Chains A and B, each alone.
Chain A
Amino acid sequence: MVPLSWYLTLAAALFAVGLFGVLARRNAIAILMGIELMLNAVNLNLLAFWRYLWSDNLTGVVFIIVVLAVAAAEVAVGLALIISIYRRRSTVVVEEIDLLRW
């Protein structure tokens, strides 16, 4: 039997790794990869809580499905933005996309 805390610890570590990717990477697509890792850590947490505490109803599973749909939408819009920026400014480095910086 795997204790619940093992899943929570793994999810915390995965979230931290994804956060590091978001903060430290220069390429916008690599930042999206970090966001995916963070969303997966959240999903793992949700499913572990559902399985260990509330597995008699469906709310946790539906929550994960909604998170999956939002993740798919987010990746589609994010990659469209990156490709659009690449077409217009020929860069995907976030430090060079500073038109709105004040």
Chain B
Amino acid sequence: MTVPQIIFLATAAVTLIAALMVVTVPRLVHAGLWLILALGGIAVLFILLENGFLAVVQVAIYIDAIAILIIIAVMLTRAVMSDTDPQINRMWLASALASLIIMAGLLVIVSQAPDASRGPLVDAEVGLDALGRALVDVDGFILPFEVASVLLVAALVGSIMVAMTPTRGD
């Protein structure tokens, strides 16, 4: 067992336990906090995959923005669903079965993958400046970059419209 393997196993265990708590814990605010732990575990795995930039992006967007947004929404809508109400619907057994079947299928595919046991490529270092240039390069990825920006603007305007206080007569 090498050091990266030990780090991977510990992080994977923490991430999986946190994810299980997210979907089972009855109090939604606690579920949000467990979600932060799970997302942080993913960020650690990004560092282990030697991409520090995406780890920072993961912390800045997922933990900083999305998780906080979700917790605030939980607090805004708290009064309607008390923590003693059942949080899991009647079909939870069938849902668990479906999830297990999908996981088994994915694991079968993973076990049959030809490259499954190989190690990482040696010269992986892709510089941050190369990524920045490729994102605005006409021969690079300027189209997905611009489409993503337009999508973000549309989503922001749309969510403001949807969440606006209903006017008289609605």
Using CB atoms and an 8 Å cutoff, list the residues of chain A in contact with chain B: 1-10, 12-21, 23-27, 29-30, 32-34, 36-37, 40, 43-44, 47-48, 50-53, 55-59, 61-62, 64-66, 68-77, 79-84, 86-88, 90-93, 95
Contact = CB atoms under 8 A, between A and B. Distances in A.
A70 B48 contact: no
26 contacts: A1-B119, A4-B113, A4-B116, A6-B8, A7-B49, A8-B113, A12-B103, A19-B95, A33-B23, A36-B35, A37-B23, A40-B39, A44-B46, A47-B46, A47-B51, A50-B51, A59-B141, A61-B51, A61-B126, A69-B148, A74-B155, A77-B155, A77-B159, A80-B159, A84-B162, A92-B80
A93 B16 CA distance: 26
Contacts of A5: 110-111, 113, 116-117
B152 A80 contact: no
A71 B165 CA distance: 25
B91 A84 contact: no
Contact of A27 (B12, B87, B113, B121): B87
B10 interface: no
B70 A32 contact: yes
A59 to B, nearest CB: 8
Contacts of B138: none
